[in-house]
Amino acid sequence: MQQPLLTVIIPCYNVEKYVDKCISSIVAQTYSNLEILLIEDGSTDTTGKICDAWQKKDKRVRVIHKQQNEGLPYARKTGIEHATGEYVTFVDADDWIGIEMYTDMMTALLSTDSDIASCDVCRVYEDGRIVHRIEKHDGSIKTMGRIEGINHIFEGSLWNICFWNKIYKKNLFKHIEFKKERSFSEDIIIYKLYHNALQTVYVNNAYCFYFQRNDSICRIKSIPAEQNKIREWSEALYEAYCFLERYPEYHSVSNFLKQKYLICVSVRLLHLMIACPQQFTSEYFSYKTKQLRSIPLGKGDWIPRKAKIELYLLKISPILYKILRMFYNRVIQFTNRLKITNKRTYIFINESGFYWSTRKQK
227-262 in b/e form (b: 16+ CB < 10 A) is bbbbbbbbbbbbbbbebbbeeeebeebbbbbbbbbb
pLDDT band with cut points at 50, 70 and 90 for residue 216: low
Helix H, strand E, coil C: the string for 78-142 is HHHHHCCCCEEEECCCCCEECCCHHHHHHHHHHHCCCCEEEEEEEEEECCCCEEECCCCCCCCEE
Bridge-based pairing of strands 87-90 and 6-12 is parallel
- What whole-number distance in Å separates Cα of residue 323 and Cα of residue 318? 9
Over residues 222-267, the pLDDT tens digits come to: 567 788 889 999 999 999 999 999 999 999 999 999 998 999 999 9
Please provide the average confidence, as pLDDT, over all residues in the chain.
Answer: 87
The whole-model pTM stands at 0.86
Q: pLDDT for 27-52, tens place per residue?
A: 999 999 999 999 999 999 999 999 99
Query: What is the model's pLDDT at position 226?
Result: 80
> Which of the listed CATH numbers 3.90.550.10, 3.30.1490.190, 3.10.20.90, 3.40.50.720 matches domain 6-212?
3.90.550.10
Amino acid identity for residue 219 in this structure: R
Cα-based torsion angle of the residue sequence 29, 31, 32, 34 in order, rounded to the nearest 10 degrees: -90
* Residue 338 reports pLDDT greater than 60: no
pLDDT of residue 157: 63
HEC-encoded secondary structure of the chain: CCCCCEEEEEEECCCCCCHHHHHHHHHCCCCCCEEEEEEEECCCCCHHHHHHHHHHHCCCEEEEEECCCCCHHHHHHHHHHHCCCCEEEECCCCCEECCCHHHHHHHHHHHCCCCEEEEEEEEEECCCCEEECCCCCCCCEEEEEHHHHHHHHHHHCHHHHCCCCEEEEHHHHCCCCCCCCCCCCHHHHHHHHHHHCCEEEEEEEEEEEEEECCCCCCCCCCHHHHHHHHHHHHHHHHHHHHHHHCCHHHHHHHHHHHHHHHHHHHHHHHHHHHHCHHHCCHHHHHHHHHHHHCCCCCCCCCCCHHHHHHHHHHHHCHHHHHHHHHHHHHHHHHCCCCCEEECCEEEEECCCCCEEEEECCC
For residue range 274-285, list pLDDT tens digits in order: 988 888 999 999
User: So what's the pLDDT on residue 127?
Assistant: 87
Of 59-63, 66-70, 156-160, 272-276, where does mean pLDDT reach its minimum? 156-160
Task: Give CA 233 to chain center in angstroms.
Answer: 9
Residue 347: HSE in the Cβ half-sphere, 13 Å Cα cutoff = 7
pLDDT beyond 80 at 214:
no
CB 171 within 8 A of CB 65: no
Averaged pLDDT for residues 321-330: 89
